[in-house]
Amino acid sequence: MNVLALDFPPVSHLFEWPDMLFSGTAYAINKTVLIYLAAVAITAAIFLLAGRKTGSLVPAGVQHVAESGVTFIEESVVMETIGEEGKKFMPFLTTMFFFILFSNIFEVIPGIQFPANSRMAIPITLALVVWVIYNFVGIKAQGFGGYLKNSLFPPGVPVALYLIVTPIELVSTFVVRPFSLAIRLWANMVAGHLLLVTFAVLTHTLWSNGFVGAVAPFSMLVMMTGFEILVSVLQAFIFTILTAVYIGGSLHPAH
C-alpha cells in the first residue's frame, strides 16, 4: 500500500503468516503456531529447571524468575481478588500468565517481532475457557439457582432498578465478559504491532531519503519498543487478574 510515498504493507501482511507444514489443514503450522509452541517450551523450561533447584536457600536465575512469578500471582492476583480459597487456581492462573506473557513478548524479540496474541485464536480460546471455569465455579459454590440469582439480581440494588440492572448483568456476565477479555488482549497487541511497524516503515523510508529525517521515527520506535514490553506484561497481568476477579465473584457473590 503506497501512502504518501510510504510503502506500507497491507494489514494482512502484518498478521497473517503462510503455512509452513500441513498447509490447508486444521493443524497447519505457521509462525503464530510456532510462537505458541515457543511460549510453552520457555515456560515449561523455566518451571522444570526451577523445580530441580530445590537445595539453595537463595533463589537465583530461572528459579528466581519462576518463584517471582508464582509469588506475584499469589500475592498480587489471587490473594487480592479471591483470597485463600483461590490458591487452588494458582497453577491455572500462573500457566495462563506466563503463556500470554511469552506469546506477547515476541513482539519485541529481534528477528521474530510478532505478538502471537495479535491473532484472535488464543485470546478467544482462553477467554472461553475462563468463561466455562467461572460459571462452573459459581454453580458449584452457590448452586445453579443461587448463582443465577446472585449474578442477575445483585444484592443492595432497589427492586425497581432490577428492570435495568438485570438485563445489563445478564449480557455483561454471560455474553460480553469473554469477548471483552479476548478483544482487550487482542486489540492491544494488534495496536502495538501496528505502531511498531508504522515507525519501523517510517524509519526505513526516511533513512533511504537521507539519514536525518529518520532520527525522530527511530527514537519513537525505540520508545515504543520499550512501551510494548510494558504492554506485553501488563496485558498478561490484566487477563490473569480479570480471570481471578471473575472466579472470585463466582465464589463470593457478596463481593
Partner 1 sequence: MRIRRNRLLAAPLFALLGIAAFASPAQASGESVGGCMAEVIHEAEEHHGKDHDVLHDEHVQDELEKCFEAPNPILPELNEIVWGGAAFLILFVLMVKKGFPAVKGAMDARAEKIRTDLDAAEQARTDAQAVQADYEERLADAKAEASRLIDEARGAADQVRTDLMARHEAEMAELRARAAADIESSRTQAIADLRAEVAGIALGAAERVVQSSLDTEVQGRLIDAYIDEVAGGNG
* The only residue of 2, 3, 12, 254 in contact with partner 1, by rule CB under 8 A: 12
DSSP H helices, 79-214, are 79-81, 90-105, 121-142, 144-152, 162-171, 177-208
Q: Give whichever of 76 and 166 is closer to partner 1, judged by the CB atom.
A: 76
Contact set for partner 1, span 99-118 (CB under 8 A)? 99, 106, 109, 111-114, 116
- Residues, the chain, total? 255
Question: Which of residues 147 and 221 has its CB atom nearest to partner 1 in the complex?
Answer: 221
Nearest approach in angstroms of CB 15 to partner 1 is 6
Q: How far is the CB of 194 from partner 1 (least distance, A)?
A: 11
15 binds partner 1 (CB under 8 A): yes
* Interface residue with partner 1, options 2, 3, 5, 54 (CB under 8 A): 54
Q: Is 247 in the site for partner 1 (CB under 8 A)?
A: no
Report residue 119 as a C-alpha cell.
491473532
Q: Tell me which of 6, 7, 13, 132 binds partner 1, using CB under 8 A.
A: 13
- SS3 sequence of 97-112: HHHHHHHHHHHHCCCC
Give the binding range for partner 1 (CB under 8 A) out of 119-127, 141-149, 201-209, 235-243. Answer: 119-127
Q: Taking Cα atoms as reference points, which of 221, 192, 190, 195 lies closest to residue 206?
A: 221
**Binding of partner 1 by 143 (CB under 8 A):** no
Residues 177-216 within binding reach of partner 1 (CB under 8 A): 183, 186, 190
Query: Among the candidate windows 19-27, 75-83, 168-176, 217-225, which touches partner 1 by CB under 8 A?
Result: 19-27
Q: What is the DSSP string of 193-253?
A: HHHHHHHHHHHHHHHHT-SGGGHHHHHHHHHHHHHHHHHHHHHHHHHHHHHHHHHHHHH-T
Q: Is 43 in the site for partner 1 (CB under 8 A)?
A: yes
Rounded to an integer, what distance in angstroms lies between the CA atom of residue 214 and that of residue 11? 23
Q: Distance between CA atoms of 206 and 200, rounded to whole angstroms?
A: 10
**Coil, strand, or helix at residue 29?**
strand
Task: Answer yes or no whether residue 66 interacts with partner 1 by CB under 8 A.
Answer: yes
> Is the CB of residue 214 less than 8 Å from the CB of residue 199?
no
- The Cα–Cα gap between 225 and 237 comes to 19
Please name the amino acid found at residue 217.
Answer: P
| Binding residue for partner 1, selected from 2, 3, 18, 84, defined by CB under 8 A | 18
Given the complex with partner 1, which of 170 and 194 has the nearer CB atom?
194
Candidates 43-51, 132-140, 156-164, 216-224; binding stretch for partner 1 (CB under 8 A): 43-51
Q: Smallest distance from the beta carbon of 38 to partner 1, in angstroms?
A: 4
